Chains A and B, each alone.
Chain A
Amino acid sequence: MRKLLKRPDLGIIIGCLFIFALFTLYDPAQWFNWGTVSNIGEYTAILGLLAIGQSFVVLIREIDLSVGSVYGIVGIAFVGLENNNVSDVLAFVLAMLLALLVGLVNAALVIRGKLSSMIVTLGGLFFYRGLIYIITHGAVTGVPQAVRQNWFAQLLGGHSLRIQNGFLLLLILGFLCAVTLHETRFGNHLLALGGDPASAESRGVPLGKVRTIAFALCSLFAGLSAIVTLTNDPETSVSLGTGMELEAIAAVVVGGTLLTGGRGTMLGTILGSFFLTAVRSEIIALGAPPSWYVSFVGIALLTLVTINTLLLKRLRISG
Chain B
Amino acid sequence: MKRFFTHLWLWLSLCLPFAGAVFAQDDHYRFVMVSHVGPNDPNMIWLTTSMKTFNEKYPGVKTEYLSTNEYSLQNFIAILNQAIATHPDGIAVPILNNEALQPILDKAVESGIPVVAFNIPDARPVGERIKYLTYVGGDEYQTGLKMGEFVIDQANAGKVPKPVKIMCANHDAAHQGLKARVRGMTDAMKKIGVPVDELIIGSDPAKARSIMQSYLSTHKDVNYLYSLGTISCPWVYSVADQMGLKPKLSDKGVTIVTMDDSPNSLEGIKDGKILATHNQGFWFQGYLPMEILYYYKRMGIYPLNDVLTGPVIINPDNVDQYIKSVKSIIGEDAYKKQLTW
Asked if chains A and B come from one complex, the reply is: yes
Interface string of A274-304 (1 = CB under 8 A from B): 0001001110111101110000000000000
A43 at the interface (CB under 8 A from B): yes
Task: Give the number of chain B interface residues (Cβ < 8 Å).
Answer: 38
Given A237-B205, A243-B204, A291-B173, check contact A142 B213 (CB 8 Å): no
Decide yes or no whether B341 CB sits under 8 A from chain A: yes
Q: Does A28 contact B (CB under 8 A)?
A: no
Q: Which of B196-210 contact A (CB under 8 A)?
A: 199-207, 209-210
Query: Would A137 and B337 count as touching, CB distance under 8 A?
Result: yes
Binds B, one of A33-41, A104-112, A249-257: A33-41
- Contact present for A235 and B211 (CB under 8 Å): no
Separation in Å of the A143 CB from the closest CB of chain B? Answer: 10
Report whether A39 and B210 are in contact in the complex, using a CB–CB cutoff of 8 Å: yes
Q: Write out the residue numbers on chain B whose beta carbons fall within 8 Å of the beta carbon of A139.
A: 42, 334, 337-338, 340
Which residues of B lie under 8 Å from residue A129 when comparing CB positions? 69
A244 in contact (CB, < 8 A) = yes
Does A239 lie within 8 Å of B70, measured CB to CB? yes
List residues of chain B with CB within 8 A of the CB of A208: none
Q: Is the CB of A290 within 8 A of B211?
A: yes
Kindly state the separation between the CA atoms of A225 and B95 in the bound complex, as whole angstroms.
Answer: 37
Interface centre among B44, B213, B235, B238 (most CB of A within 10 A): B213
Q: Which residues of chain A are near B12, meaning CB under 8 Å?
A: none
In the bound complex, do residue B215 and residue A284 qualify as a contact, i.e. CB atoms below 8 Å apart? yes
Contacts of B209 in A (CB 8 A): 42, 233, 235
Interface size class of A (residues with CB under 8 A): 35 or more
Tell me whether A234 is interfacial, beta carbon within 8 Å.
yes
A242 to B41, CA, bound (A): 14
Please state if A141 and B337 are interface contacts (CB–CB under 8 Å): yes
Chain B residue numbers with a CB within 8 Å of A290 are 199-202, 211
The answer to whether A35 touches B243, judged by C-beta atoms less than 8 angstroms apart, is yes
In the complex, what distance in Å separates the CA atom of A36 from the CA atom of B70? 30
Asked if B158 is at the interface of the complex by the 8 Å CB criterion, the answer is: no
In the bound complex, what is the Cα–Cα distance between A35 and B338 (angstroms)?
A: 31
Interchain CA distance A42-B209 in the complex, whole Å:
10
- Chain A residue nearest to B44 (CB atoms) is A138
- In this assembly, does A133 line the interface, its C-beta being within 8 Å of a C-beta of chain B? yes
Determine whether A238 belongs to the interface, using a CB cutoff of 8 Å to chain B.
Answer: yes
B339 at the interface (CB under 8 A from A): yes
Tell me which residues across on chain A come within 8 A of B231, comparing CB atoms.
Answer: 237, 239
B305 within 8 A of A: no
Known: A35-B213, A42-B210, A134-B39. 6 other contacts (CB 8 A): A138-B39, A138-B40, A234-B234, A243-B202, A280-B210, A280-B211
B contact set with A: CB distance below 8 Å: 38-42, 44-45, 69-70, 173, 199-207, 209-211, 213-215, 217-218, 231, 234-235, 238, 243, 334, 337-341
21 contacts between A and B (CB under 8 A): A30-B218, A39-B213, A43-B207, A43-B210, A46-B206, A138-B41, A138-B44, A142-B234, A142-B341, A229-B206, A233-B206, A237-B205, A238-B39, A239-B40, A243-B204, A282-B214, A284-B199, A284-B215, A286-B218, A289-B200, A290-B199
Closest 5 CB pairs of A and B: A133-B39, A239-B203, A284-B214, A139-B338, A43-B210
